[in-house]
Structure 1
Amino acid sequence: MERSLIIGGILTLIFLLLIVGAPIKPFRFVGRLLVKIVIGALLLFAVNIVGTQFNFHLPINVGTTFVSGFLGLPGIGALIVIKLYILPS
Structure 2
Amino acid sequence: MLLPGFFSFAIGIIILAFVVWLFGKSIKILFKFVINSIIGYIFLLIFNFFGSIFGLTLHLNIVNAFVAGVFGIPGIVVLLILKYLFKISF
Q: TM-score range by the shorter chain?
A: 0.5 to 0.7
Equivalences for residues 1-89 of structure 1 within 5 A:
22-23=20-21, 24-87=24-87
Structure 1 alignment gaps of length 5 or more = 1-19
TM-score by length of 2: 0.64
Aligned length in residues: 69
SS across alignment from 2:56: coil
CA-atom RMSD, angstroms? Answer: 2.2
Greater helix share, structure number: 1
Counterpart residue identity of residue 53, structure 2: Q
Structure 2 alignment gaps of length 5 or more = 1-16
Runs of 4 or more, structure 1, over 3 Å off, are none
1:30-55 alpha-carbon deviations (Å, 9 max, x no partner) = 21111111111112111101111112
